[in-house]
Structure 1
Amino acid sequence: MSSVTIGNAVPAFTAQSTQGEITQNNFLSQWTVLYFYPKDSTPGCTTQAQNFRDQLENFKAANCQIIGVSRDSLKSHDNFTGKQSLPFALVSDPDETLCTLFDVMKMKNMYGKQVRGVERSTFLIDPKGVLVKEWRGLRVPGHVDQVLQAVTEAAR
């Protein structure tokens, strides 16, 4: 399976989430922010999820849904969702199908060691299921505001 690229439709896939099965068809008829993060309940990932949660009504006003993805289990996602009151789906991708499709698995330095992990990345998909924008290797502070601005401008 090759990686999805800007200007192309997201290929067929099936994944399990905290809100049931998700396929590429879930991206049709509304904008979608699909964000990949390393691990539930870690400081940066918690802040990012909270920021998306806190801006959710503004995303909805632009006809946009939020979906998070990590390699964590559904049980971990359920705990994270409950603790943080997250109203959007979190996809469990333990076999890295979506991570590979969006090419977010990278070698990273952690405490002086090289480890393979999820590069924090966000993708904007239009109502036809086409990838229109991506943010890779991003920092959490201010990121959700950037994404909201891009969605609002694109949805006009």
Structure 2
Amino acid sequence: MLDQPVPDFELPATGGKTFRLSDRQGKPLVIYFYPKDNTPGCTSESQQFRDLYPEFQSLGCGIVGISRDSLKSHESFKAALGLPFDLLSDSEEKACTLFGVIKTKNMYGKQVRGIERSTFVLDSRGVLRREWRGVKVPGHAQQVLEFVKTLR
């Protein structure tokens, strides 16, 4: 999928909105997939993107976070962390499937299906320019920001 246009998709977003990828053409976009609201790694990752959001904005870059959690869960997670960007609910795994982020993982000795923490950067034309899979949270948002700076 790298260096290819990402197919359009639509998901429910926080704030009672509907996110459509095609509506975001014209500026770069960071899409980060995370396993679950209110868990330590996902909280830390979202806080890092929140803290760097003004820098992403200064580059004209948007950010959205996606997990399989409900909109209700997303709304409280977003409010608790003061996130300035929308979270998208992918309970039917439409975007998860499109980006191939659903993996079988070992959790406490059991096999479970879940989201592999992954981040994707699309350029202003909706072309996938960079992907990170199996993301380790510390410093990740800064890495993404540094890459977005190279898109000019």
TM bracket, shorter-chain basis: over 0.9
Does 2:15 correspond to 1:21? no
- Partner SS, residue 117 of structure 1: strand
The runs of at least 4 consecutive aligned structure 1 residues that moved more than 6 Å come to none
> Which residue identity is paired with 2:122?
I
The aligned residue for residue 76 of structure 1 is 73
Q: What 5-or-longer segments of structure 1 have no aligned partner? A: none
Partner AA of 2:11 in structure 1: A
Q: Deviations over 1:70-95 (max 9, x none)?
A: 00000000000110001101000000
State the match for 2:133 in structure 1.
Answer: 136
Alpha-carbon contact 1:27-1:125 (below 8 Å) kept: no
Gaps of 5+ in 2: none
Cα deviation, 1:110-138, whole Å, max 9, x if unaligned, reads 11111110000000000001111000001
Aligned to 1:11: 7
**What corresponds to 1:55 in structure 2?**
52
Residue of structure 1 in register with 2:103 after alignment: 106
Please report how far the alpha carbon of residue 12 of structure 1 lies from its aligned counterpart in structure 2 after TM superposition: 2.0
Identity %: 52
Specify the SS of the correspondent of 2:29. Answer: strand
Q: Tell me the amino acid that sits aligned with residue 10 of structure 1.
A: V
What's the CA shift string for 1:4-25, capped at 9, x where partnerless?
Answer: x111111121111004111121
Q: In structure 1, what is the Cα distance between the partners aligned to 2:54 and 2:144?
A: 14
1:125 alignment partner in structure 2: 122
Would the aligned equivalents of 1:6 and 1:132 in 2 still touch at CA under 8 Å?
yes
